[in-house]
Amino acid sequence: MRPLIEICVDSVGSAAAAQAGGADRVELCDNLIEGGTTPSAGAIALACEKLKIPVNVIIRPRGGDFCYSDIEFEVMKRDISTAKDLGANGIVIGILLPDGRVDEARTRELIRLARPMSVTFHRAFDMTRDPFETLDSLIALGVDRILTSGQEATAAKGTDLIGRLVERAGDRISIMACGEIREENAGRIVAETGAREIHFTAFVEKESEMEYRNQRVYMGNELCPEYVNKVTDAEKIAGVIRAVEEPAQA
pLDDT (tens digit per residue) in 35-52 = 999 999 999 999 999 999
Structural domain of residue 118, as residue ranges?
A: 4-249
Once rounded to an integer, what is the mean pLDDT over residues 211-215? 87
Please report which confidence band the pLDDT of residue 247 belongs to, taking 50, 70 and 90 as the band edges. low
Work out how many domains the chain is built from and give that number. Answer: 1
pLDDT at site 248 = 47
pLDDT at site 120 = 98
Q: Is 244 helix (H, G, I), strand (E, B) or coil?
A: helix
The answer to whether the beta carbons of residues 228 and 205 sit under 8 Å apart is yes
- Among residues 146, 175, 179, 151, the alpha carbon closest in space to that of 163 is found at 175
Q: Is the pLDDT of residue 1 over 90?
A: no
The answer to whether the beta carbons of residues 6 and 24 sit under 8 Å apart is yes
Residues 47, 195: Cα–Cα separation, whole Å:
27
Rg (CA), the chain: 18
Q: Which pairing describes strands 228-232 and 203-207: parallel, antiparallel, or unpaired?
A: antiparallel
Nearby residues of 246 by Cβ (< 8 Å), 6 or more positions away: 187
CATH number of domain containing 8: 3.20.20.380
pLDDT at site 60 = 98
- What is the pTM assigned to this prediction? 0.93
